[in-house]
Chain A
Amino acid sequence: MNVELRHIHKWFGSVHANDDVSLRVRAGSIHGLLGENGAGKSTLAKILSGYITRDSGEILLDGNPVDIRTPTDAIRAGIGMLHQDPLDFPPLTVLENFMLGQAGKTLWLDHRSARRAFLALAARFQFDLNPDAHVSELTVGERQQLEMVRLLALGTRVLILDEPTTGISAEQKMLLFAALRQLAAEGKAIIFVSHKLEDVEALCDEVTVLRHGRVVGTVSLPCPAETLVAMMFGKVLVEPAKPHTARDAVALELHNVAIRTELFDLHVPHLAVHRGEVIGLAGLEGSGQQAFLEACAGVGRLAHGTLRINGQDLTHRPYRDYLAAGVCYVPADRLRDGLIAGLTIREHVALRAPRGFFINHAYTAQLAEEAIRAFNIRGTPDSRVERLSGGNQQRTQLALMPSPLSVLLMEHPTRGLDIESTLWVWQQLIARCQQGTAIVFASSDLDEILRYSDRVLVFSGGRISPPLSTTTLTVDQLGHMIGGKF
């Protein structure tokens, strides 16, 4: 089935996640959707599969417009999506999951014919799945295979895969790619969403690159990797424009550290972050940057190793000791982790700076006024934080940072902000560095990483690169390393 998207627009609040996206996918081809995190790939995939409703634009299947508003609409139209986290039901068995969503002919479940259909489909793709195993015992790769078989049994003719190679083994990846090629040969349209260059190069016939919600272009493969990298990240090289603020004293030191995440263990043999230094964490989202930052902040735990802040050993110490040592963690998801929806700016300020037992409203209002003025927040002391725009929420988060600060750990400090706010945020952060604060930040914006970091750690495939100085590093090199080539 040929798929065509015309002028798709989608806004999330003030973020234009899909900005006039048009795309054609031929039946019988594997079409890559490539772009860095936040480029709008997943949004587009979810619009096509009905999980998100588009604001405007048209979807055509074999030239006929269809109105897809729910996943059920999409499945009826023959579009199935394999999500990054498989949408299955872990307490149930493989077979029960397979049967979910199937239109039964009668009221009763027909286990025997379902089992036959399941085994036949799995065998076609050489998936070795035990129908009676519980989904909770399966690996991500196996759950993906199950979900794929399930979608195909529903009559899917357009299969969308969102970052399917994250967290699966090399062998499972080979099986997956073989299955996708087979499906394309049968005339199905495959949309392969990824930020991994090597996967797209190995698998796809055509690739469309998205950046900041817009289509940069569509090219046929093979094509030089440099072209794709340039399309993904916009520019080729950016001169860092940050004054030298690093000092000799060490603010954060990791020694022989292991951090356990759901998918892998991260190892850091040794890392010393100096006062005033900025370390950028580059890599695809979900490569362990968040676990790394949480561990450094004392929110997560080290599996082993030692962690020192200003020379003080804080390994396995409670979070409040980290706060007392001048560590501050600013999470990416402002309303989930960083701010408390339902409370006002004044109440946030009061939480951060309690004085006495009773709240002096005049005092906290004054603190909030000062923060609003100093950080240029568009809001009043009694504005609830969830009503603020993303940029103003980020300003509020910055306003809540204590002073002085030894180590600042940030995720995506400027995600979703306009250029003006972005520059302003970095002005504030550089001022902190000049006061001696060490900053470790994760970002999917390579320009940002190269411009502001003194050194960079690249996270890829469960590994962390040694620290790389940004003086000689280029976006190209970084892009390649993020793709796993280091």
Chain B
Amino acid sequence: MAAIPALRESAFATAHRVGALVAALVLLVALVLLVGESPLAVFGALLNGAFGTWDQVGRVVNTLTVLLLCSAGLVFTFNAGLYNLGVEGQVTVGAIATTFVLRLVGEMLPGPLAITLSLVAGALGGVSWGLVAGALKVYGRVSEIFAGLGLNFIAQGAAIYLVFGPWKRPGVASTSGTEPFGEHLWLGTFGRTEATPVGVALALIGLLFTILIMQRTYFGLRLRAVGHNPRAADILGVSSARHLLSAFALCGVFAGVAGALQVVGNYHRLTPTISGGLGFLGLLVVMLAGFNALFVLPIAFFFSALNVGSLQLPLVLQRVDSSLSGVIQGVLVLAALMGRGLAQRRAGGSA
């Protein structure tokens, strides 16, 4: 295996990545043509759906804040070598904890204080759920993938139970969630849109924090060391157990805050599907970003716009549905991962 000069290799990798994206676009265009729609019309409708009105822009921003927080948290776990599928559950538990605190103190304390407390509670809820996954992984030798999936089911079950049981609306329980909180417990918004300045600030601070930790600190380096080779890291004196748990906890904080924002900034109540799948979407964002926090923002923005933009597709065009956004996201990520894999294979990485 001859050492390939770094330059040629990165050219290799770039060529493969661009190739993969082109392949993904061709596939998507073909798909749209197959269902008998014009790709340009779909593109226009998506664009219009995401940015046509300030209302829609506000919704994109709101989705983006939650997606950014999930993605930023996942940067830690991915770099520690973990496929933290439990992020969904961490968002849900964060939302439950937030709702719990708001129900408890919402009517007693001034709004801003109650909201602050509920955000902290959301973070703690996320951390606790992350640490359960971490303990299962580190001490119980359970793959974090299965631990995460199991914990997601439990969290989802808990949310459903609460919405239909102890926290049900007066009169009749509803899939639309618990009784909405009073407006004094809502986060302030930009004008009349749904976007909240607090959410945007938290997401941006979270992302900057992640970039700083991963690129500039010994802690970030140690996380990467554990992610690449936990055994060698242990021998070099970097405790893999401690760093894996830290990664789970950090991701839990971010996911928990994301869940809290879903409650105080977005839905203003607990719903059975409060995470909205944004945790899973975060996994795709970070994978597409190659685990690099710097690329998370543009990709998360693009995905958020797709999510919101696709909502009105069926209203504008007859032959496509809003689920097209999921197809686009999935195809892009799979193509990008395949491009990376092919580049590695060409570089002679593995037989």
Question: Which 3 residue pairs spanning A and B have beta carbons closest together?
Answer: A342-B228, A354-B218, A340-B229
Task: Choose from B225, B233, B235, B239 the contact partner of A331 (Cβ within 8 Å).
Answer: B235
Known interface pairs A13-B1, A320-B237, A352-B237. Does A341 touch B217 (Cβ–Cβ under 8 Å)? no
A residues 98-120 with Cβ under 8 Å of B?
none
Give A454 to B134 CA distance when docked, in angstroms.
Answer: 47
B15 CB to closest chain A CB, in angstroms? 20
A230: B residues at CB distance < 8 A = none
Inter-subunit contact A329/B218 (CB<8 Å): no
- Interface residues contributed by chain A, number (CB under 8 Å): 27
A residues 381-421 with Cβ under 8 Å of B?
387, 400
Contact digits for A330-353, partner B, Cβ 8 Å, 1 yes 0 no:
010000111111110001101110
B338 CB to closest chain A CB, in angstroms? 20
A residues 316-332 with Cβ under 8 Å of B?
319-320, 323, 329, 331
- The total of Cβ contacts below 8 Å across the A-B interface reads 65
A339: B residues at CB distance < 8 A = 229, 232
Inter-subunit contact B221/A299 (CB<8 Å): no
Task: Choose from A323, A331, A347 the contact partner of B221 (Cβ within 8 Å).
Answer: A347
B196 CB to closest chain A CB, in angstroms? 31
Known interface pairs A299-B234, A343-B224, A387-B3. Does A359 touch B217 (Cβ–Cβ under 8 Å)? yes
Give A341 to B233 CA distance when docked, in angstroms.
Answer: 11
Known interface pairs A341-B229, A350-B221. Does A358 touch B237 (Cβ–Cβ under 8 Å)? no
A residues 139-178 with Cβ under 8 Å of B?
none
Give A237 to B233 CA distance when docked, in angstroms.
Answer: 40
Give A180 to B19 CA distance when docked, in angstroms.
Answer: 56
Give A40 to B230 CA distance when docked, in angstroms.
Answer: 30
Give A338 to B239 CA distance when docked, in angstroms.
Answer: 14
Give A329 to B237 CA distance when docked, in angstroms.
Answer: 10
Inter-subunit contact B221/A359 (CB<8 Å): yes
A329: B residues at CB distance < 8 A = 235
B3: A residues at CB distance < 8 A = 387
Contact digits for A1-38, partner B, Cβ 8 Å, 1 yes 0 no:
00000000000010000000000000000000000000
Give A351 to B225 CA distance when docked, in angstroms.
Answer: 8
B residues 100-156 with Cβ under 8 Å of A?
none
Inter-subunit contact A359/B233 (CB<8 Å): no
Inter-subunit contact A357/B232 (CB<8 Å): no
B residues 201-244 with Cβ under 8 Å of A?
216-219, 221-222, 224-225, 228-229, 231-239
Known interface pairs A341-B228, A358-B217, A359-B216. Does A319 touch B234 (Cβ–Cβ under 8 Å)? yes
What residue in chain B is nearest A297 (Cβ atoms)? B235
What are 13 A-B pairs at a CB distance below 8 A? Answer: A13-B1, A339-B229, A340-B225, A341-B229, A342-B224, A343-B221, A343-B228, A350-B221, A351-B218, A351-B225, A356-B218, A357-B217, A357-B218
Give A347 to B220 CA distance when docked, in angstroms.
Answer: 11
Give A11 to B221 CA distance when docked, in angstroms.
Answer: 34
B219: A residues at CB distance < 8 A = 357
B239: A residues at CB distance < 8 A = 320
A358: B residues at CB distance < 8 A = 216-218
B17 CB to closest chain A CB, in angstroms? 18
Give A359 to B222 CA distance when docked, in angstroms.
Answer: 11
Inter-subunit contact B238/A351 (CB<8 Å): yes
Inter-subunit contact A337/B232 (CB<8 Å): yes
Give A342 to B227 CA distance when docked, in angstroms.
Answer: 10
Give A351 to B3 CA distance when docked, in angstroms.
Answer: 25
A319: B residues at CB distance < 8 A = 234, 237
B238: A residues at CB distance < 8 A = 351
A336: B residues at CB distance < 8 A = 229, 231-232
What residue in chain A is nearest B239 (Cβ atoms)? A320
B217: A residues at CB distance < 8 A = 357-359
Known: A13-B1, A347-B225. 11 other contacts (CB 8 A): A319-B234, A337-B231, A338-B232, A340-B225, A340-B228, A340-B236, A342-B229, A343-B221, A351-B221, A351-B237, A352-B237
What residue in chain B is nearest A402 (Cβ atoms)? B237
Give A350 to B225 CA distance when docked, in angstroms.
Answer: 11
Among A320, A323, A340, A350: residue with most chain B CB under 10 A: A340
What residue in chain B is nearest A360 (Cβ atoms)? B216
A341: B residues at CB distance < 8 A = 228-229
B246 CB to closest chain A CB, in angstroms? 14
A354: B residues at CB distance < 8 A = 218
Contact digits for A264-301, partner B, Cβ 8 Å, 1 yes 0 no:
00000000000000000000000000000000000100
B112 CB to closest chain A CB, in angstroms? 32
Give A4 to B233 CA distance when docked, in angstroms.
Answer: 45
B308 CB to closest chain A CB, in angstroms? 37
B232: A residues at CB distance < 8 A = 336-340
A357: B residues at CB distance < 8 A = 217-219
Give A341 to B230 CA distance when docked, in angstroms.
Answer: 11
Give A354 to B239 CA distance when docked, in angstroms.
Answer: 14
B130 CB to closest chain A CB, in angstroms? 22
B200 CB to closest chain A CB, in angstroms? 26
A341 CB to closest chain B CB, in angstroms? 6
What residue in chain A is nearest B2 (Cβ atoms)? A13
Inter-subunit contact A338/B235 (CB<8 Å): yes
A356: B residues at CB distance < 8 A = 218
B231: A residues at CB distance < 8 A = 336-337
Inter-subunit contact B236/A351 (CB<8 Å): yes
Among B218, B219, B235, B238: residue with most chain A CB under 10 A: B235
B54 CB to closest chain A CB, in angstroms? 40
B348 CB to closest chain A CB, in angstroms? 11
B224: A residues at CB distance < 8 A = 342-343, 347
A393 CB to closest chain B CB, in angstroms? 12
What residue in chain B is nearest A342 (Cβ atoms)? B228
